[in-house]
């Protein structure tokens, strides 16, 4: 089996590549040309896989570049994960988020339809599509009410995917994934911002953590668990959409409390509220009902919330003490 992963350099892409390789897949990745020119910085999450995967340069903003990659290989499955995935950045630059996320998805679907319509397609939908939630917990039938340019772009990608399925009979499925984390999470997301700063505080390299809304509530799972669900969605007889969630929800404050406690500190001594990290429109509370994924796909998560927090803090401590990565630089760049 030959799979193409867009966004293979990201958190999920790297775990998915590992999962598919373990199942005997030939794994291909679509990456930006600039990434190929700067592999040390850009391939940190997949450096250990480089001799087992094939990378192809293409731009999500360019249909011809995607068409060229799809025309050269007979892919059986395509996991479309590439996106501008940071919600705060989508408020700062809604235009490029829309362009990359909506057109990128449309280009992938159109190229596959033209060249390889039998290739199965996975779209990385998001719980951000629920936004101002219309019911709790959220499930496949809950109406969408996105609250950011990112959320709007994901609703458009979801609709495009469903339309290619209905109009052209393609096997196109969407996962509606709730937040998922892990040691490879980007430093700009709140969980990694917290765990990396906890490690720096513990190592004497920082003395405070600036955050925005501590009361926001998320349903946090582990990326390793969630990429298994992506794979399972493409192994079904018919294409469909699935919510993937832990069903357990916690506030940002609770995440802080646990992360600081992991190194014997009290978060109240270090966390400062900074208005800059508030969003123009917030998604206050997410919690998913993944009954359909659990019954139809036979999927279930293996990590608990506290295990995720512990793994992330311990990983960041190890990194900072072993100086495996310039953690301080990465953190200061993060929003």
- Active-site positions? 126, 128, 150
DSSP state letters, 196-212: HHHHHHHTTS-S-EEES
Site for ligand GDD in 275-314 (CB under 6 A): 277, 279, 282, 286
Taking CB under 6 A as the criterion, the residue among 184, 193, 202, 250 binding ligand GDD is: 193
Asked if 253 touches ligand GDD (CB under 6 A), the answer is: no
Q: Which of ligand NAP, ligand GDD, none does residue 186 bind to, with CB < 5 to 8 Å depending on kind?
A: ligand NAP
Size (the chain), residues: 335
Asked if 32 touches ligand NAP (CB under 6 A), the answer is: yes
| Cβ-based neighbour number of residue 92 at 10 Å | 11
Q: Minimum distance between the CB of residue 84 and ligand NAP, rounded to whole angstroms?
A: 5
Nearest to 221 by CA among 198, 245, 241, 201: 245
Q: Which residues pair with 138 in a beta bridge?
A: 288
The footprint of ligand GDD on this chain (CB under 6 A) covers a number of residues equal to 23
Strands in 120-126's sheet, in edge-to-edge order, are: 53-57, 26-31, 2-6, 77-80, 120-126, 172-177, 241-244
With CB under 6 A as the contact rule, which of the stretches 28-36, 56-64, 110-118, 212-220 interacts with ligand GDD? 212-220
CA 159 from chain centre, in angstroms, equals 19
CA 143 from chain centre, in angstroms, equals 22
Asked if 177 touches ligand NAP (CB under 6 A), the answer is: yes
Q: Which of ligand GDD, ligand NAP, none does residue 212 bind to, with CB < 5 to 8 Å depending on kind?
A: ligand GDD
Question: How crowded is the C-beta side of 146, counted as CA atoms within 13 Å?
Answer: 19
Asked if omega into 137 is within 30° of 0 (cis), the reply is yes
Residue pair 53/17 in contact by the 8 Å Cβ criterion: yes
Closer residue to ligand NAP, CB minimum distance, 185 or 200:
185
Among all residues, whose Cβ is closest to ligand NAP?
A: 10
Asked if 180 touches ligand NAP (CB under 6 A), the answer is: yes
3-state class (DSSP) for residue 3: strand
Q: Which residues pair with 180 in a beta bridge?
A: 221
With CB under 6 A as the contact rule, which of the stretches 20-28, 162-170, 190-198, 263-271 interacts with ligand GDD? 190-198
Asked if 80 touches ligand GDD (CB under 6 A), the answer is: no
81 backbone dihedrals φ, ψ, rounded to 5°: -105, -20
Site for ligand NAP in 42-101 (CB under 6 A): 42, 59-60, 81-85, 100
Closer residue to ligand GDD, CB minimum distance, 65 or 90:
90
Residue pair 219/178 in contact by the 8 Å Cβ criterion: yes
Taking CB under 6 A as the criterion, the residue among 124, 173, 194, 198 binding ligand NAP is: 124
Which residues in this chain contact ligand NAP in the complex, by CB under 6 A? 7, 9-13, 32, 35, 42, 59-60, 81-85, 100, 124, 126, 177, 179-180, 186
Which residues in this chain contact ligand GDD in the complex, by CB under 6 A? 85, 87-88, 126-128, 178-179, 188-191, 193, 211-213, 216, 218, 252, 277, 279, 282, 286
């Amino acid at each position: 089996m030959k799979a193409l992963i867009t966004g293979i350099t990201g958190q999920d892409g790297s775990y998915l590549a590992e999962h598919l390789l373990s199942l005997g897949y030939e794994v291909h990745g679509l990456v930006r040309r600039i990434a190929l020119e700067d592999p040390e910085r850009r391939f940190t999450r997949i450096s250990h896989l480089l001799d087992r995967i094939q990378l192809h340069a293409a731009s999500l903003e360019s249909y011809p570049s995607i068409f060229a990659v799809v025309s050269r290989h007979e892919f059986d499955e395509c996991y479309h994960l590439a996106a501008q995935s940071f919600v705060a950045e989508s408020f700062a630059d809604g235009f490029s988020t829309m362009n990359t996320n909506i057109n990128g998805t449309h280009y992938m679907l159109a190229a596959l339809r033209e060249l390889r319509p039998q290739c199965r397609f996975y779209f990385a939908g998001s719980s951000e599509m629920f936004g101002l939630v219309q019911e709790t917990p959220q499930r496949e039938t809950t109406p969408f009410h996105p609250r950011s340019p990112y959320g709007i772009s994901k609703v458009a990608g979801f609709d495009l995917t469903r339309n290619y399925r209905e109009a052209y009979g393609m096997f196109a499925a969407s996962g509606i994934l709730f937040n998922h984390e892990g040691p490879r999470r980007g430093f700009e997301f709140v969980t990694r911002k917290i765990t990396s700063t906890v490690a720096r505080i513990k190592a004497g390299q920082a003395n405070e953590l600036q955050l925005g809304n501590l009361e926001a509530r998320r349903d946090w799972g582990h990326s390793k668990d969630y990429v298994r669900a992506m794979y399972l969605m493409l192994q079904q007889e018919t294409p469909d959409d699935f919510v993937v969630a832990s069903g357990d929800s916690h506030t940002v404050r609770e995440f802080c409390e646990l992360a600081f406690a992991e190194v014997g500190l009290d978060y109240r001594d270090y966390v400062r509220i900074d208005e800059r990290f508030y969003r123009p429109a917030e998604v206050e509370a997410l919690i998913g009902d993944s009954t359909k994924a659990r019954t139809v796909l036979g999927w279930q998560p293996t990590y608990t919330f506290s295990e995720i927090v512990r793994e992330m803090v311990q990983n960041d401590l190890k990194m900072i003490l072993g100086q495996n990565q310039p953690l301080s630089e990465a953190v200061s760049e993060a929003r």
